[in-house]
Amino acid sequence: MWSMHTAISAIGLLSDRGYGKQLHLTVVGNGHPAYERELHRMVEMHDLQRMVTLTGRVPPTRMPAVFAQHDVLLFPSIYREPLARTMQEAMLSGLLVVGTTTGGSGEMLVDGATGLTFPAGDVQQLTSQLTRVTREPELVPTLAQRGQTAMLAHFTLDRFTDDIDAYLAEVVGRA
């Protein structure tokens, strides 16, 4: 489900509070044309052209380079995604993730342990978390490292295949 309006609204609030020179939001990807127009309208309405860049679709092969240019991934999903691959890739790339814990992302993202969280659609809480990141810059590398370590320890191909093997053995045992 589309949710980048939450991030743009939070950036607008932060700009109003004087954080305009410290933050830049890059929105990667595309969606329904009407929603994209609404995002552009929001950027213009809040005068965020210097703080927000909407790139459109970026090929998956370019995403490591995009991640390398940033310190934080905002993941404002309101959709219960079973597997938040973008979040996983960002954490493995060493980015701090500030996001929602809808769907499978709640297994990876633990507030204050592997990243920072906020309730889906809650602009005020997202704004608070981004303010925290700005005021406590030491959180960025600390939580990013913890997130990366957790991904490497718990979300590996070996673990997934072991879990599938165990599940199939359980099903066969019941039959």
Q: Is the pLDDT of residue 75 over 90?
A: yes
Determine contact, residues 8/46, Cβ cutoff 8 Å.
yes
How much is the mean pLDDT over the chain? 92
Give the helix, strand, coil percentages of the chain, each rounded to 5: 55, 15, 35
% pLDDT > 70, the chain: 99
AA letter at 132: R
Residue of 167 and 131 predicted with greater confidence: 131
Q: Is the pLDDT of residue 59 over 60?
A: yes
Residue of 20 and 67 predicted with greater confidence: 67
Q: Is the pTM of this model over 0.95?
A: no
Residue 2: band (very low, low, confident or very high) from pLDDT cuts 50, 70, 90: low
Q: Give the strands of the sheet with 72-75, arranged side by side.
A: 72-75, 96-99, 116-117
Q: Is the pLDDT of residue 4 over 70?
A: yes
Determine contact, residues 98/126, Cβ cutoff 8 Å.
yes
pLDDT per position as a tens digit, 107-141? 889 999 999 999 999 999 999 999 999 999 999 99
| CA gap 66, 73 in Å, rounded | 10
pLDDT of 96 reads: 98
Question: How many secondary structure helices (H) and strands (E) does the chain include?
Answer: 8, 5
